Every structure is written in structure tokens, then in C-alpha cells.
């Protein structure tokens, strides 16, 4: 999976198509990501000693194939490529459209 927590992504498929948001959590075993403000579901939560009960809205996971990373230069969706940094020799992520480094 080419996504990390904090990446800006755009949804390319599903009922939330076109929405953008930051990745809050990645589920690598299931190949899914949780994006803030996307795929909002209502969960019925039982009251505990610390929290009150009720209906809570939360972001549910979305499959990683249904999101694309936002290019830092053009602010449009792009694919992710990999290359090695000349200075450090480490593997880094780059945007395919603008060849910019993705932080």
C-alpha cells in the first residue's frame, strides 16, 4: 500500500466520489484506509461508565483502490511512484504527474 497517515487523498469511486480528506488510519492487513469526512456511518453505541450512549457518526474504512493521492504541486489526483534519494540513498515516494516528492 502506498498510503501513510496524514496523506491528502481524493475518493475516485463510490458514493463519496470526488471528496478529499486526510488519512486518519491505515489497515494494511485489509488494504483499507480511514479518511476523515468520507464514508460516514452511524454507530449505535451503548453507554459505559466513561461515555454516554447514543448514535455516533464515525468514518468507516474505505478500500485503498478507491482513493488516489493528491499531487502536492498540481492539487489533482495522481499515481504514486518510488525512487531513491540521491543524498541519503533511501526509497522515497513521488507523484507520477509532476515528479514531486510526496512527504
pLDDT in tens, 45-90: 999 999 899 999 999 999 999 999 999 999 999 999 999 999 999 9
The pTM of the full predicted model, rounded to 2 decimals, is: 0.85
pLDDT tens digit string along 7-45? 999 999 999 999 999 999 999 999 999 999 999 999 999
**In the prediction, which pLDDT does 1 show?**
85
Cα 92 to its chain centre, rounded Å, is 18
**In the prediction, which pLDDT does 103 show?**
81
**In the prediction, which pLDDT does 32 show?**
98
Phi (first) and psi of residue 27, to 5 degrees: -115, 90
Amino acid at each position: 500500500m502506498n498510503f501513510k497517515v496524514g496523506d491528502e487523498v481524493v475518493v475516485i469511486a463510490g458514493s463519496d466520489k470526488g471528496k478529499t480528506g486526510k488519512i486518519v488510519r491505515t489497515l494494511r492487513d485489509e488494504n483499507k484506509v480511514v479518511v476523515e469526512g468520507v464514508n460516514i456511518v452511524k454507530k449505535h453505541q451503548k453507554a459505559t461508565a466513561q461515555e454516554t450512549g447514543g448514535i455516533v457518526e464515525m468514518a468507516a474504512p474505505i478500500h485503498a483502490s478507491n482513493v488516489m493521492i493528491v499531487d502536492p504541486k498540481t492539487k489533482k489526483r495522481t499515481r504514486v511512484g518510488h525512487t531513491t534519494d540521491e543524498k541519503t540513498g533511501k526509497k522515497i515516494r513521488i507523484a507520477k504527474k509532476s515528479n514531486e516528492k510526496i512527504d
